[in-house]
Structure 1
Amino acid sequence: MNEDIYTLPNQIRVIRRHCDAGVSCCGFAIAAGSRDEEEKEQGLAHFTEHLLFKGTQKRKAFHVLNRLNAVGGELNASTGKEDTFVYGLFLKNDYERALELLTDMLFHSTFPQKEVEKERDVVLDEINSYEDSPSELIFDDFERSMFEDHPFGRNILGVPESLQTFKSQDFRAFARRCYTTDRLVFFSLSPLEDKKIDALIQKYLGQIPDSSAASVLKQRSSPLPVRAFKKQITRNTHQTHVLYGNRACSMYDEKRYALFLLNNLLGGPGMNSRLNSLLREHAGLVYTVESGLSFYTDTGLCSIYFGSDPKNTDRCLSLIDKELKRLREQPLSSAKLHFAKKQLFGQLSIAYENKESRALNMGKNLLYYNKCEPLSDFLTKIEAVDAMQLCEVASEVFNPSELSLLVYS
């Protein structure tokens, strides 16, 4: 069963898929995030997302929150560097209730000043909670150095100095500028009949005025090249927290398939990842070690994180360097490559069964690729990766002269 994709006259793109489960998921993927903020607007994208829940032209904040919760549904949202998601999970018979609410939130939010004042403290507290979590904060500090003087280097939550200045009109202006119809994707995964969903989409989205402003996306500037750095920040933590990494390819680069497989092999979620096996299971030096990827439209980031007793930090880094050297210089045997792919296939197939994750992935695929790549096609491209491609990607991303290091001590 494939997804149906079409575009409304107002340029809102639609992707829907029928499923047999009793739960539906629908919402909006928006091509707007912290990258689209001006210097003085740091944190505005994330703050705007919060305020979508705080009142519309016909609803107060309580009524927004209660509309789906009252029937057992869930309402959620998230903000990233380049996108924002607003969506709901609910039972089949509540589809119209959910779609009407989401449309009201996205197109008719009023951003009342009294709610701005209350939510400002919530966001500031969210920032403070990160300050109390060095294992999370280090990622923001690493990106700040990796993308210096570029919006990618800013914390999505913003900074107190800018958050304190925002007024109701700032949120309305940001929504007008960035929540334009050509930057919107409506996604739907539901057991409801397709013709009923299409009728509801036409009823609630078909009448939205065309606010296309494609030129806004063209104003995005790409980050400048970065010079490898080594930094140490004193934070008086019990553990030493370490982040080690480099820029990587963009989400449109064909090398992303090899890098995706390489990352999973190196420090993915499996307890048998090379780094976990080496640093935790074999040497007993860490509790947490992982590698991660962030793909953006014109760049990417690959990083390795671990936390250890300060006396073990240098040894951990030495072991990681040896493992990265092995990946650069020693092609995997056919058996090891086969098992690495098999593990990834299993992880992706299990994740695909999660309805919320699948619906969000549908929206993201259409938002960035203007199509929805079936899982089978993605797996076929992973299957096509050979051992030498993994070495080539490892040599590029884990080039010793280009790796940057940030240490919290």
Structure 2
Amino acid sequence: MYNEKISTAVLHHNIILVSKEWHQLNSHLGIMIDCGSGFEQAHQHGLAHLIEHCIFKGTAKRKSFHIINRLDAVGGELNAYTSKEETCYHASFRNEYYDRAADLLIDITFNSLFPQAEIEKEKSVIYEEINSYQDSPAEQVMDDYDELFYGKHPLAHPILGTKDSIANFTTNDLQAFVQQHYNSANVIIVSVSPLPMAEQVIILNKYLEQCNIPQATAKPKLSKPSYTPKNVTVAKDISQLHCLLGVPAYAHKQKERLAFMLLNNIIGGPAMNAALNMHIREKNAWVYDISSNYTSYKNSGQFSIYYGCDEANHDKVNSAVWKILNSFTTTKLSELKLREAKNQLSGQISLGLDSGISNLFGIGKSQLMNNRVITVNESLLEIDKITASDLMHVANQIFNQHNFTQLVFTPTHNGDNN
């Protein structure tokens, strides 16, 4: 069993602190917002991500350079990310700089000014970020696929937005979004540190009490997406065919989630012995990159498979993919294969515990999803209970070929249009 000590406390403004005891030289601290791009309205696409960029551009007491230099000067790191369902601002630093990091993170999260001149500069940066995605068909097919898969649902649009959608955002737009979503009901603070919990609480409260944080409001919820399968092929000026196919899967709190997570890992997880990689790449050399992915959101989920291949091999690859998927609906895993698969997933989870920042993200997301932290030990025990019948059951529930959406980027031929 993994020895993990996780504590919680209620800070000023009723903000929850979740802290994991971590006896290393470095600490990790994050502020997580229960709001990502999926909570944007139709006229706000890309706004959550733009805020993430502009949060470092100045507060009432710090200019942009001072924000950048505050942790850099002591060898620390300051970063952020935006996903469909959450935003996170996080820092890694030597333990003695916990106070410095707490001050900085709280200041930028709740006191950012969002000067219009800085917003305009960051729009240009994001335009280049969008360009980089558009230059990579393997990246672009994923964004385009979500738009195809989710239709008009808020999960459909790219996290970055588009050049048109972010072009006219102003300081007022950013401030209004922060005022609406960065409230005490949506914010948690996550800490991975050897500092005693009582000391962390004192430090964090010292800076939180200086902030005017909107009080709890009713938390917005994403509706369950409606879904109609589609099959679309788009000609592109590319050398390789790129295919993404997928289907709705289990939401985060559905009891089948862990069994399906295990099945996804067997089919196309990161290990070299994943079924897709072994049969389609290692045995037949039809692809360079092939993998499956399972994402569980609060009210929905998605399973998908991506591969890139020579256009001449597409039919063979697609047929092989379906042969593999269908095999799990008709044949139970042997006890030996099941035990190996459980050991593999448990080992991958355990290896992730070596990283402090991975611990921070893991316990933070768990708190946001479940209103408590589901410990690693709990997850490993649940994985150990999964049976071969469970895997066959979820395979039969999800792997209906007629229910899959497929998007293909195919190389342009003479007479084709982009």
Q: TM-score, normalised by structure 2?
A: 0.95
Does the alignment pair 1:57 with 2:82?
no
Q: What residue ranges of structure 1 are gaps of 5+ in the alignment?
A: none
Amino acid at match of 1:155: P
Find the counterpart in structure 2 of residue 353 from structure 1. Answer: 354
Amino acid at match of 2:239: H
Match of 2:223 among 203, 206, 221: 221
Does the alignment pair 1:94 with 2:97?
yes
Q: CA deviation at 1:214?
A: 3.2
Find the counterpart in structure 2 of residue 145 from structure 1. Answer: 148
Find the counterpart in structure 2 of residue 253 from structure 1. Answer: 254
Contact 2:292–2:305 (Cα < 8 Å) also in 1: yes
Find the counterpart in structure 2 of residue 34 from structure 1. Answer: 37
Cα separation, 2, equivalents of 1:347 and 1:265: 12
Find the counterpart in structure 1 of residue 198 from structure 2. Answer: 195
Q: What SS does structure 1 have at the residue aligned with 2:299?
A: coil
Find the counterpart in structure 2 of residue 156 from structure 1. Answer: 159
Does the alignment pair 1:10 with 2:27?
no
Q: CA deviation at 1:19?
A: 1.3
Alpha-carbon distance change, 65 to 340 in structure 1, aligned in 2, over 3 angstroms: same
Q: 1:244-273 CA distances to partner (integer Å, 9 max, x unpaired)? A: 110111111111100110010000000000
Contact 2:111–2:211 (Cα < 8 Å) also in 1: no
Does the alignment pair 1:287 with 2:288?
yes
Cα separation, 2, equivalents of 1:292 and 1:74: 29
Find the counterpart in structure 1 of residue 69 from structure 2. Answer: 66
Contact 1:25–1:356 (Cα < 8 Å) also in 2: yes
Amino acid at match of 1:265: I
Q: CA deviation at 1:199?
A: 1.1
CA-atom RMSD in angstroms: 1.1
Amino acid at match of 1:112: P
Matches within 5 A, 1:100-119: 100-119=103-122
Q: What SS does structure 2 have at the residue aligned with 1:26?
A: strand
Cα separation, 1, equivalents of 2:16 and 2:197: 16
Q: Which moved more, 1:194-203 or 1:90-99?
A: 194-203
Q: CA deviation at 1:278?
A: 0.5
Q: Which moved more, 1:121-130 or 1:6-15?
A: 6-15
Q: TM-score, normalised by structure 1?
A: 0.97
Cα separation, 1, equivalents of 2:232 and 2:104: 47
Amino acid at match of 2:90: Y
Contact 1:245–1:398 (Cα < 8 Å) also in 2: no
Q: 1:211-257 CA distances to partner (integer Å, 9 max, x unpaired)? A: 23432414x33312x12111101112111001011011111111110
Q: Which moved more, 1:2-11 or 1:40-49?
A: 2-11
Match of 1:205 among 203, 208, 212: 208
Cα separation, 2, equivalents of 1:173 and 1:31: 16
Q: What SS does structure 2 have at the residue aligned with 1:234?
A: strand
Q: What is the aligned residue count?
A: 407
Find the counterpart in structure 2 of residue 399 from structure 1. Answer: 400
Contact 2:37–2:47 (Cα < 8 Å) also in 1: yes
Q: CA deviation at 1:327?
A: 0.7
Find the counterpart in structure 2 of residue 136 from structure 1. Answer: 139
Alpha-carbon distance change, 194 to 216 in structure 1, aligned in 2, over 3 angstroms: closer
Q: What SS does structure 1 have at the residue aligned with 2:14?
A: coil
Q: CA deviation at 1:194?
A: 2.4
